[in-house]
Chains A and B, each alone.
Chain A
Amino acid sequence: MTIINPYESLPCRLTEIVEESPGIKTFTISPKPINFEAGQFAELTVPGVGEAPFTPSSSPFDNDKLEFTIMKVGRVTTALFNLKPGDLVGIRGPYGKRYPLEKFRGKEVFIVGGGVGFAPLRSLFLALVHNINDYKKIYIRYGARSPKDIVYKQFLPKWDKLENVDILLTVDVGDETWNGRVGVVTVILDEIPVDFNNSVAIVCGPPIMMKFVTKRLLEAGFSGADLYLSMERNMSCGLGQCNHCRVGELYVCKDGPVLTWSQIKHVREPFV
């Protein structure tokens, strides 16, 4: 009898590493070791160092490879940044719930990202684009610290040309190359050109940005049930057992990582 061990990682190989911005890299793994749906995450292992949870940034419909866009913040990510194409990593997952895309059908999808928080949103965006006619319109509102901190620079112009896609960027601090908006991400949320009765919003970014964007989107008219928030917690096991990723009675690893505002609004400090 084969015992299924949920703690075991599948060995796989890094094939490409691209620097997106200072401190953020996209790691490509191929062949694709696991399937996932937009919203789900996986635990990535650096052998001998440890594992950490990440949501893929590639399209769930890409059958050839899996990509993760990762910021260097701690022990595991630092070790990951020292790896080279050809090196072995481990993966287990996918874990958590997918975005309920069937609920987004026929609606305007308003995506708000900050910094490396754009990574999981790219996966969602590519999944939406895969069936672009299912959605009324897709908006992306993205903020980065400075022009050089913007991720996916090579893709953004291409995405912006897609019909039914509307992209607006802002940077906290501009430079001589920058002609766009300047200010934190809420400056591009003054106008939200959607029909709040027929739209959903999805937010992912640093906690402080999540807090203020959530506030703004609720004030603007989104309902708590239509506001999808990508939560960050210490997801050690990914299995809904170790307890570290609790937000109120919910497990971010099992019930999330994307939770609606309605699900977490009773929690004292959901964004940390």
Chain B
Amino acid sequence: METYFLPLDKFVPLLLRLIEKYEVFIPTIEQERPHFHRFSSEDTSTISFEHIRTVEPVKHFLFKPIESVASFDKPLEKGIKPQAIVGIKRCDLKAIEVYDKVFLDSEFVDPFYKKRRETTILISADCPQPEPTCFCNLLGLNPWVDEGADLNVTPVRSGYVIEPLSPKGEAIIEENKIWFENTSPEDLEQREASRKKALDKLKEINPDRFKEDLYERVNVNEQKFCLSEASGCVECCGCLMCCPTCYCFLLYDEPSNERVRIWDACYYAAYARVGGGANPMPDFTSRFKNRFECKFNYFYKYHGFFACTGCGRCISGCMGKIDIRKILLKL
């Protein structure tokens, strides 16, 4: 697709144009890690495209950790504002594909997810410096974006190569045409070089591949499956909460009659417990295995791809130092 060059000093003006219509979130560095940050006209923080994906998964913007979804005796008032998320990496875009399958490609379309999805602009960025926890290449992804976003940004020399990937993205360029220039062959060469460098780095981090029939291999005997690796797990569920593809939720009703939807996680002991108290997943090994079956077998059988993006959040967030790659490679 056509590409444009945006000079370095024009990116903030572009963001200022976007906040006229959208709540804009940009990646910035806080305590040495990338986090999403709400951009405002008084903002002096520096946008960072150089890091890997943010600490927070992108699901926060489309599927709130906790929110009211119905009210028994009065209409539910819901202010869903248009938003623009800037700096999303390839792994998190793949996670949105997982969410789309669950909440849009379903007999029951989730109205809140749908509304947010329709009113959200996704501005992605290449991932120039993969870290030791990254393994998107093992899931068939590249550390750059050529689909799934509205616009993609690649930092080069004194600016950015911007590639529109959807009609929404093209419209943003059209509306702000005066700032965009044509890309030079050097810009595109630089983009290629940066992409290749990132991919080489990923191959160096992850020299081994998962086996072709991984989806069947996760169904093996429970004891064999996880005793060695699960031993460090303290069941904090951090890996599941920060996972961009985990979408489990629980509904409960408040005394005020509001129905609340809250993120849930299958490592919690009471996750599957039924009314009478019986628990289909009473032992931790069955819950530990469930996470793998869910992402690499069940989701694959339903939708044809894994519900894992190789973002590595579960590895960097694990206080038990469990590395999902080691488990998957051993199967």
Binding-face segment, B27-35, B129-137, B256-264, B323-331: B256-264
What per-residue 1/0 map shows which CB atoms of B249-285 lie under 8 Å from chain A? 1111111110101001010000111111111101000
* CB neighbours of B293 from chain A (8 A): 249
| Residue among A5, A237, A269 making CB contact with B251, cutoff 8 Å | A237
- Interface contact A241-B110, CB-CB below 8 Å: yes
* CB neighbours of B73 from chain A (8 A): 11, 47
- Interface contact A51-B248, CB-CB below 8 Å: no
* CB neighbours of B209 from chain A (8 A): none
CB of A162 to closest CB in B, whole Å: 32
Number of interface residues of B (CB under 8 A): 49
A11 vs B70: C-alpha distance when bound (angstroms):
12
A240 vs B105: C-alpha distance when bound (angstroms):
11
- Interface contact B256-A4, CB-CB below 8 Å: no
A228 vs B11: C-alpha distance when bound (angstroms):
62
Q: From known contacts A241-B103, A249-B298, infer whether A48 and B251 are also in contact, taking CB-CB under 8 Å.
A: no
**Interface membership of B232, Cβ < 8 A:** no
- Interface contact B273-A47, CB-CB below 8 Å: no
Q: From known contacts A4-B111, A47-B257, A240-B108, infer whether A9 and B72 are also in contact, taking CB-CB under 8 Å.
A: yes
A207 vs B276: C-alpha distance when bound (angstroms):
11
* CB neighbours of B301 from chain A (8 A): 249
**Interface membership of B102, Cβ < 8 A:** yes
A241 vs B263: C-alpha distance when bound (angstroms):
12
**Interface membership of B97, Cβ < 8 A:** no
- Give chain A's interface secondary structure class: loop
- Interface contact A6-B271, CB-CB below 8 Å: no
CB of B189 to closest CB in A, whole Å: 45
A269 vs B279: C-alpha distance when bound (angstroms):
11
**Interface membership of B222, Cβ < 8 A:** yes
- Interface contact A242-B298, CB-CB below 8 Å: no
* CB neighbours of A232 from chain B (8 A): 274, 278
* CB neighbours of A244 from chain B (8 A): 248, 250, 264, 271-272
**Interface membership of A234, Cβ < 8 A:** yes
Shortest Cβ distance from A3 into B: residue: B111
CB of A83 to closest CB in B, whole Å: 14
A71 vs B298: C-alpha distance when bound (angstroms):
33
**Interface membership of A49, Cβ < 8 A:** yes
- Interface contact B250-A242, CB-CB below 8 Å: yes
What per-residue 1/0 map shows which CB atoms of B61-79 lie under 8 Å from chain A? 0000000011011001000
* CB neighbours of A9 from chain B (8 A): 70, 72, 259
Between-chain CB contacts (< 8 Å), 17 pairs: A7-B251, A9-B72, A47-B72, A48-B255, A52-B275, A207-B278, A233-B274, A234-B273, A236-B249, A241-B103, A242-B249, A244-B248, A246-B272, A249-B293, A249-B297, A254-B107, A269-B280
3 pairs of A and B residues whose beta carbons are closest in the complex: A7-B70, A74-B275, A239-B108
9 new A-B contacts, CB < 8 A, other than A49-B253, A232-B278, are A4-B111, A7-B69, A7-B259, A48-B253, A48-B255, A52-B275, A244-B264, A249-B298, A272-B274
